A and B are shown apart, each in its own frame.
Chain A
Amino acid sequence: KAGVTQTPRYLIKTRGQQVTLSCSPISGHRSVSWYQQTPGQGLQFLFEYFSETQRNKGNFPGRFSGRQFSNSRSEMNVSTLELGDSALYLCASSLTGRETQYFGPGTRLLVL
């Protein structure tokens, strides 16, 4: 079974731009969660989607948003990028959100 895939793997943007990251969960998994990893704050939960609905949300500003499609693929969007948004963005999937989460390789975003 293929694992969680994320595209793109690397991205460079400038301040003020917006970015969209994509995540394809493990086949059959319907829950997708997003996390941000930075050297200063570690791994932090952004939000979780299940059946195309945001079910849980972390403590991030409204510039961070996401959505989930009917095939469970998910995208996250960051608008008006700031330097501090430079991070590794990880998505994780699980069957229903109530089991072990399996992570993708991440998208490394650099904001200049």
Chain B
Amino acid sequence: DQQVKQNSPSLSVQEGRISILNCDYTNSMFDYFLWYKKYPAEGPTFLISISSIKDKNEDGRFTVFLNKSAKHLSLHIVPSQPGDSAVYFCAGSTGFQKLVFGTGTRLLVSP
């Protein structure tokens, strides 16, 4: 039972362009969603979160959009930089507890 799905295993984008990473969920009880970035041999690094009562949250180059009716969220990175190349995980949670992660999307930003 995969409650959080990231259907694109990989994404390639050119430097300076927009990266859009997508995530779908099935659990209506999730009230917070988070995005983490992970480099090899390191733990996930928190990027941005969004409450289920909002439809958008922005932090610098990162914006997360939430469409509750479609049970879909997306992370936009503008402009993309080579240092953004990593695996991105979305996660759903109830009160930030027991994070349920998607399988990740590998982003490659080429110069």
Q: Is the CB of A43 within 8 A of B98?
A: no
Q: Is the CB of B97 within 8 A of A56?
A: yes
Given A100-B34, A103-B36, A45:B46 Cβ within 8 A = no
CB neighbors of A among B88-111 (8 A): 89, 91, 95-104
Which of A35, A42, A103 meets B102, CB within 8 Å? A42
Q: Is the CB of B96 within 8 A of A42?
A: no
In angstroms, Cα B45 to Cα A33, docked, is 15
Q: Is the CB of B43 within 8 A of A56?
A: no
Q: Is the CB of B102 within 8 A of A99?
A: no
Q: Is the CB of B46 within 8 A of A101?
A: yes
Q: Is the CB of B98 within 8 A of A103?
A: no
Which residues of A are in contact with B by a Cβ distance under 8 Å?
4, 33, 35, 42-45, 48, 55-56, 58, 90, 92, 94, 97-106, 108
Which residues of B are in contact with A by a Cβ distance under 8 Å?
34, 36, 41-46, 49, 89, 91, 95-104
